[in-house]
Structure 1
């Protein structure tokens, strides 16, 4: 299973971009805030908060900032913003499918900015469900081989509830259903004595479009504009964006 992986390419590209931007911590804190307000400040009782905390830790968000975000969101006197979750779906240049996840305190502003970005790129927004059927939502757990060299990791992952596995030259990629993400990570923690290098939920394309290299630039431009929007949490597309373009 070693070799080129479009899936790994997506994760590394996104990771490299996020680490270059100070906005990442803001996005992580925003997700923690929404998770607490939507449920509980106890991660054992709030699966969404557990996932948000896992993602924050894997991105090296300091523990004190995580705790502060939870405390602020759960306080009855909290003045933290109230965010609304809105997911946009549409087609970008050359029919590439886009899913854009946002958390916003101003629905009209966000809708206007997302629509304008698609329009300027020659794309168009669709109705809910217009492209989501082209993706599946999965949980992703990645371990560096320099930290985990266990030859039995495939068997361990399956025993812990994973649905798929990719072995790459430098890492192990474990894929699970989004609904079992927290439980799979907890079980893996018991048998793998190492921290995962990345953990996240993602919309993984069921298949990838083939697109000519000279057309990728316009798709990448829309992708980057959306990612830079303060209200946008995640952008998913069904093509491979070159890993080197993120560095």
Structure 2
């Protein structure tokens, strides 16, 4: 099946930056807490929590850290109440950007996000200004190795309800409708598959090609946003130049 997620172009770069800064566990911990608070601490009856636990495991988050975050959210340990906010706007060259935030101080978050946009050649927009350009999808990323047969994995994924399957340089990417994500993930897990990424995300319908100068400027915006402790995820539709690295 055909498709192009730009997984290496965008997501691998972001994950590398997050991991380098040691922030990914903190961000996932907040997601776990919010999911447990909203739907209970039992993943058997809380599908959202199951999905976030899968994301945590894909990022090699220790089990005791996962458990502690869930207990905080469920009120079994002292925790903080977080509000979920989504900001939308444009980066340099009109790149569409969506910023998902979990915060205990809405004014602080709004100011920080706005500053990151304006400082790096972008501008905040109104709610809905770019979200229509993205679709919610489940995305599972499997690292290629000699023990995985591409055709078998494709059939396994599609038969379990995946929407699409395609191969990139070093990984296989499986996408699902949001409502099918848990079913597909669990079916692949039961067959021994492990994931480099397993999460619900926003995938752009089309990408905007940018040159090296714009890419350098936009990467600084991404760094500023992703370095903010309140920012959970940043989605965009920029297509970086071939072979470009920050």
TM-score (norm 1): 0.92
- 2:175 aligned with 1:160: no
For 2:24 and 2:203, locate their aligned partners in 1 and report how far apart those are by CA, in whole Å.
Answer: 21
Residue 102 to residue 209, structure 1, CA distance change in 2 (3 Å)? same
Root mean square deviation of aligned Cα? 2.0
1:221 counterpart residue number: 220
CA distance in 1, matches of 2:4, 2:41: 40
| Structure 2: unaligned runs, 5 residues or longer | none
In structure 1, what is the Cα distance between the partners aligned to 2:229 and 2:203?
Answer: 23
SS at match of 1:61: coil
What SS is found at the alignment partner of 1:141? strand
Of the structure 1 ranges 47-56 and 162-171, higher mean CA displacement relative to structure 2 is found in 162-171
Q: Secondary structure at the match of 2:32?
A: helix
Partner of 2:236: 237
Corresponding position of 1:112: 111
CA drift at 1:194: 2.6
Any conservation in 2 of the 1:2–1:168 contact (CA below 8 Å)? no
User: Does the aligned pair in 2 maintain the 1:3–1:168 contact within 8 Å?
Assistant: no
Query: Which position in structure 1 is the counterpart of 2:193?
Result: 194
Q: Is the 8 A contact 1:143 1:198 kept in 2?
A: yes
Query: Greater shift after overlay, 101-110 or 237-246?
Result: 237-246
User: Does structure 1 residue 86 correspond to structure 2 residue 72?
Assistant: no
What is the DSSP-based 3-state SS (H/G/I as helix, E as strand, rest coil) of the residue aligned with 2:158?
helix
Number of corresponding residues: 244
Aligned to 1:141: 140
Other-structure match for 1:180:
180
Q: 1:199 Cα deviation (Å)?
A: 1.1
Secondary structure at the aligned position of 2:44 is classed as coil
Q: TM-score, normalised by structure 2?
A: 0.92
SS of 2:53's partner is helix
1:48 to partner: Cα distance: 1.3
1:198 Cα deviation from its structure 2 partner: 1.7
Is the 2:101–2:230 contact (alpha carbons within 8 Å) kept by the matching residues of 1?
Answer: yes
- The Cα shift of 1:90 comes to 0.4
CA contact (8 A) 2:3 2:166 kept: no
Structure 2: distance between partners of 1:5 and 1:36: 30
Determine the C-alpha separation between the residues in 1 that align with 2:69 and 2:5: 35
SS of residue paired to 1:151: helix
1:55-100 CA distance string (max 9 Å, x none):
1001010011111211232235x42000000000001111111000
Residue 122 of structure 1 is matched in structure 2 by: 121
Higher mean displacement: 62-71 or 226-235 = 62-71
* Cα displacement (A) at 1:244: 5.6
- State whether residues 148 and 194 of structure 1, in contact with CA within 8 Å, keep that contact through their aligned partners in structure 2: no
| Alpha-carbon spacing, 1:163–1:19, altered in 2? closer, same or farther (3 Å) | same
Unaligned runs of 5+ in 1: none
